[in-house]
Structure 1
Amino acid sequence: MDSVLIVGGTRFIGRHAVEEFLDHGYEVTLFTRGNRENPFADREGVEHVEGDRTNDSALELARERVDPDVVVDCVAYYPKDVRAATEIFADCDAYVYVSSGAAYGASVVPKREGETPLHDCSAEQATDDSWDSYGPRKAEGDRAVFAAAERGVRAMSVRPPVVYGPHDYTERFDYWVDRVLTHDRLVVPYTDLRHLVYVGDVASALRVVAEDGEAGAAYNVGDHTLPVLGEWVELLAAEVGTEVDVVRAGERELSAGDLEPADFPLYLDYPHVLDTHELESLGWTATPLSETVAATVEGHEDGAGREQGPDREAEERVLGVLETF
C-alpha cells in the first residue's frame, strides 16, 4: 500500500494522519470541501481533491482521480456516510473509519471491542446532529463497517476517547494549559477516571490498522496511563516549570461560584476506560505522557481555551469559600 486518501485532513486528527502517512512513505491526497486553509498546500507528496463527502458523486470522482490503496475517513458523522464510503471504496486495500469510544453503550470498565455493548441508534438519531446522538451515530457507523466486511470489504474502525494535542479546535485541553500558564491556584472538580488519547497516537493507530488490521474489526486507542483531572494539571505545571496549587472542589463548594462540575472541560462523573490490547497486538504503542504533554504545551496558542470553561471571577469565588474551611 503506498497511497492514501484522507477524507478530511486539514483540522485535527486528519492533519496528524497526513503527517503520519507521509512519515511512512505514503503519497497522500486530502478530500475536503476547501472551506478551510489547507496547511499542506505547498507540501510535496500531498495532493488535494475538493468535494463534499456527503455527495456520493464527489466521492466517486475522488476514487477515480486518486485510485487510493487506503482510505481514512475522519469526517463520517452519520451512518449513511459510512455506508456510502464502504460501497464506493469497496475495492481499496483498506477503509478505516474514525469512530469513537462514545459508541459504547455501557458504563463498564474497561470497555472492550466485541464484548461491551454498543449504543442502539434509532432512525431519528441517525440523522440528528446533536451531541446526545453522537455516540449512537458512531455506533451505527461501526455496524456499517461490520456489514461491509461481511460483503468482502476490508473495512475497519478505530475508537478513540477524548483526543488532545496540537491543533485541537475544541480547545478543551487548552483550557487547562491556559489556566496553568496564567494562574497558580486552580479549582479542579472531583472527577472519575477518564481515558484520553494523544492525537499523534490516533494517527499512528489509523496507519497500523490500515496496514495490519482485520476486516470487520474495531480497535480502541488510548493513552497507557489514566491520570485524573488534577493529575493532568500537575503534569502540565511540571512541563511549563511552574507550581500550581490544585484545589479540588465538589458540588457544594462550586455552588459558591454558581458552577457545576460539568462546567469544567474534561470533567466526567463516571469511569470511561478503553481496553487497548487489540490494537497493541498489531504492534501499536502509545507515546509516553512526558512527550505528549510537552508537544501539547508547545502547540498551545496564547489564550486558546480560555473561554471553554468557568471564568476566573467565578473560580475566585469558589477559592474564597474554600479558604474559610
Structure 2
Amino acid sequence: MRVLILGGSGFVGRSVADEAVRRGYDVTVFNRGRRSAPAGVTTVTGDREGDLSALDDGTWDAVIDTWSARGEAVRRTAELLSGRAGVYSYVSSRSVYTGEQNERAEDAPLVDVSDEGYAGDKLRGELGAAAFDGPVLLARAGLILGPYEDIGRLPWWLNRLARGGPTLAPGPRDLPLQYIDARDLANFLLDNAGRRTAGPFDLVSRSGHTTMGELLDVVNEVTGGHAELRWTGPEVIEAAGIQGWTQLPIWLPPGELHTFLHQGDVSKAYGEGLVCRPVRETVADAWAWLQSLPGDAPQRADRPRVGLDPAVEAKVLAEQ
C-alpha cells in the first residue's frame, strides 16, 4: 500500500510512519522538515498553511492527516489530493463533542463550529476533510499515550515516580481510565485505510482497560519502585486547588467530565477491529523511549506543560 502521512515525525504521525514501514508499505511523509522522520520513508517538505507544491504530483492508496490546528489547512490538502488517493483519514478528537450523551457515541451533539479553541479547530478540520472526493475516516481519538508523546502526560508520571519518595496519588484507586496507545491508533488507521472504511470513530480503549491504581502501580514498578504512593481522595485534591488533567495528568475526579472522557462507548471502533495493548506494554515502552533520549522529552509548543509543583505536592502530603 502507498501511504501519504501529513505529519509523520511527531507522536501519532511518527507512530503511523513506524508501523507503515514495519508493514513494508511505500511511505511518504509531508511536513516542514524540522524533526527527523523514521528510516525507510520518503520525506517531502512544505507548509500546511503555505506551500503545498510538493504534493502537486503523486498518487496514494491512503492519506493519513495528523494536523491539529486550523481546519482550513485540512480542507486545502483534502481538495488538492482529491482524485489522487483512495481514502482520507483525519485524526480528530473526542473534544468535538459537547459532552452530552446519546444512544450511540458517534451521534452525540458536536460543539459549535465557531468555537475558537481546540475543539473548534478539530471540528473545522473534520469539515475540511469532507472536501475529499472519496471515503473519509474521522478518527476521534481520546487520551493518547505511548512512546514519542509530546504532550507530557505519561512522561510526567514516569519521571515523577522515578524520582521516588512520598508521592501524591490521586484516587480513588479503582477509578476507570480510557485511553489509546498511539501505536494502536496507528494500527487502526492503517488497517481501515486498506479497507477504505469511512465515517467517525471514537478511538480509545474500553472504559476500565486500566485504572488509576493499576496505572501508577505499573509506572512505579517499571521505573524502579522508588515511589511511596500516598492515595489521596478527590475532595482533598480539589480543596488544595489542584487541577486534574493538567497538574495531575490523565486523572480527573469522578463526575461529569470523567464520565465523558473515561466512560465512553467505543463499541463501533471495536467492531471495526480496534485492539488495545495492555497498559504494562504502553508504560514500559514509553519509559524505555524516555531513557533513550539525550535530554528531556519533546514538548509541543502549542500545549502547556503539565505536572504538579513539588512544593504544592509536599504541602498537601504534609497536611494529611
User: After TM superposition, is the score higher than 0.5?
Assistant: yes
Do residues 288 (structure 1) and 273 (structure 2) align?
Answer: no
1:238-317 matched pairs, under 5 angstroms: 238-242=221-225, 244-252=228-236, 259-261=242-244, 262-269=246-253, 270=257, 271=259, 272=261, 273-301=263-291, 304=297, 308-317=306-315
Residue aligning to 1:101: 94
Letter in 2 for 1:210: A
Higher strand share: 2
Do residues 135 (structure 1) and 119 (structure 2) align?
Answer: yes
1:145-164 matched pairs, under 5 angstroms: 145=129, 147-148=130-131, 152-164=133-145
Do residues 14 (structure 1) and 13 (structure 2) align?
Answer: yes
CA distance, structure 2, for counterparts of residue 160 and residue 22 of structure 1: 22
Find 1:121's aligned residue among 113, 124, 135. Answer: 113
Higher mean Cα deviation, 305-314 or 10-19?
A: 305-314
Higher mean Cα deviation, 20-29 or 218-227?
A: 218-227
Quote the offset at 1:47 in angstroms: 0.8
Quote the offset at 1:227 in angstroms: 3.3
The answer to whether the 8 A contact 1:8-1:32 is kept is yes
SS in 2 for 1:274: coil
Distance 1:279-1:59 versus aligned 2 partners, 3 A rule: farther
Which aligned segments of 4 or more residues in structure 1 are displaced greater than 6 angstroms? none
Residue aligning to 1:202: 185
CA distance, structure 2, for counterparts of residue 303 and residue 254 of structure 1: 30
Letter in 2 for 1:87: E
CA distance, structure 2, for counterparts of residue 316 and residue 184 of structure 1: 10
Deviations 1:287-312, CA, capped at 9 Å, x for gaps: 12222122112112476599731222
Q: Percent identity?
A: 26
Residue aligning to 2:82: 90
**TM-score normalised by L of structure 1:** 0.82
Distance 1:290-1:110 versus aligned 2 partners, 3 A rule: farther
5+ residue gaps, structure 1? none
CA distance, structure 2, for counterparts of residue 140 and residue 280 of structure 1: 26
The answer to whether the 8 A contact 1:90-1:154 is kept is no
The answer to whether the 8 A contact 2:8-2:29 is kept is yes
Q: CA RMSD in A?
A: 2.7
Letter in 1 for 2:195: D
**TM-score normalised by L of structure 2:** 0.83
Quote the offset at 1:193 in angstroms: 4.6
CA distance, structure 2, for counterparts of residue 10 and residue 268 of structure 1: 30
Residue aligning to 2:214: 231
SS in 1 for 2:319: helix
